[in-house]
């Protein structure tokens, strides 16, 4: 019983640590709620948010998140599970026009 508690505490600690490390690599976060985009973290041009939101709306995405993820000196995109694969490439295309 004691080992199960210790194991549970270690697992929870690792999950929290992993989540915080992932959150730190996010340059910005756009969340969709009821089809409306909200920039919830970081700074990104409003025109980019609008273009990304347009792609999400065209694909019928009502909720989800797009993450600007820092990778080796650049910012790539990450997605919540609710963003369909068919939409992700269109979002990457928009981002590639604005990323520098």
- Within 10 Å of residue 93's Cβ, how many Cβ atoms? 10
Whether residue 91 is predicted with pLDDT greater than 60 in this model: the reply is yes
- pLDDT tens digits along 7-43: 787 777 776 656 555 545 888 999 988 888 889 999 9
Residue 4's pLDDT band, with cuts at 50, 70 and 90, is confident
What average pLDDT does this structure show over 74-98? 91
Crossing angle of helices 46-58 and 85-98, rounded to 10° = 160
Q: How does the average pLDDT of the chain come out, rounded?
A: 84
**Global pTM?**
0.69
pLDDT of the residue at 81: 92
What average pLDDT does this structure show over 58-79? 89
Q: For the chain, which residues make up each domain, given as ranges?
A: 27-98
Contact 66, 91 (CB under 8 A): yes
Burial class from Cβ neighbours inside 10 Å (0-12, 13-18, 19+) for residue 24 reads: exposed
């Amino acid at each position: 019983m004691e080992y199960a508690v210790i194991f549970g505490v270690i697992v929870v600690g690792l999950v929290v640590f992993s989540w915080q490390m992932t959150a730190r690599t996010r340059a910005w976060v756009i969340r969709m709620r009821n089809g409306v985009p909200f920039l919830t973290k970081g700074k990104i041009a409003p025109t980019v948010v609008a273009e990304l939101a347009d792609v999400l709306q065209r694909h019928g995405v009502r909720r989800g998140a797009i993450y600007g993820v820092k990778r080796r000196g650049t910012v790539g995109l990450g997605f919540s599970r609710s963003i369909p694969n068919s939409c992700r490439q269109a979002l990457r295309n928009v981002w590639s026009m604005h990323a520098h």
